[in-house]
Amino acid sequence: MPDKKNKVAIVTGASRGIGAATSERLAKDGFSILVNYSSSDPTEAEAVAARVRAAGAEVRLCRGNVSDPKTAKQMFDLAEFDFGGVDVLINNAGIYELAKIGEMDDETFDRVVAVNLKGTFNFMREAANRMRNGGRVINVSSSAIGLKLETYGIYVATKAALEAMTQIMSKEMRGRKISVNAIAPGQTATKLFLDGRSERELDRVAKMNPYERLGTPEDMAATIAFLCSPEGEWINGQIIRINGGTV
């Protein structure tokens, strides 16, 4: 990896949840951060940027939908112009819409695939061509793949495809010392997961693992930070389940 003062990370879907926690953790580790968000309201993203600055790191906010290839290009352009290049890509942006396969409408299917799969691909493609040697690509999958729960069919399909691309790209980066891995969080206490769920349901879900608690965004950020560190260099082409033992 480059010298600490020169490390640059792009984090997609970084205005809250795992993306926000990862941005703050990598800032503490010395990275300059490009925070991607899609909302028309920048309040949450600006709050993340403020915490990144408080950790002593430089930050840039980049609004854009990851399903649009122009968003990936623009973020890499900005990183190169302001910081000289990109060393780490965290593909965290994703949406979580569930329905039985027989009840999934075309519009929802297309939206989930566009963000979760095409969005990740857009940034992976840009990284494959523009990331500095010695870098890291980390995609965010889901431990739901192993649970095979009803209504998760399309969501899990996008994450399974993401995992396949992860392992293939890790081989395609031969000779550049760019590792490509994925983390697969279990049930995590993010706003996306908590909204609309009763306390009884959350308690049931928490007890699915031996620790009997939900994961936290900080749990996920800690593993991501390790993969981005010099000590994580030898981990490549792997899917790391972070779920407390649920599956």
Closest CA to 127 of 92, 87, 93, 94: 87
Measure the CA–CA gap between 139 and 223, rounded to whole angstroms: 12
The size of the chain, in residues, is 247
Measure the CA–CA gap between 130 and 187, rounded to whole angstroms: 33
What amino acid is encoded at 210 in this protein? P
The distance of Cα 161 from the centroid of its chain, to the nearest Å, equals: 15
Largest CA distance in the chain: 52
Task: Give the Cβ contact number of residue 154 at 10 Å.
Answer: 20
Q: Token match 């990851």: residue?
A: 66
Burial label for 180, CB within 10 Å (0-12, 13-18, 19+), is buried
Cα first-last separation, the chain: 33
Q: Pick the catalytic residue: 37, 96, 152, 155?
A: 155
Measure the CA–CA gap between 235 and 111, rounded to whole angstroms: 32
Closest CA to 145 of 120, 108, 182, 192: 182
- Residue pair 208/201 in contact (Cβ under 8 Å)? The answer is no
Q: Is 96 among the residues known to form the active site? A: no
Residues with a catalytic annotation lie at 155
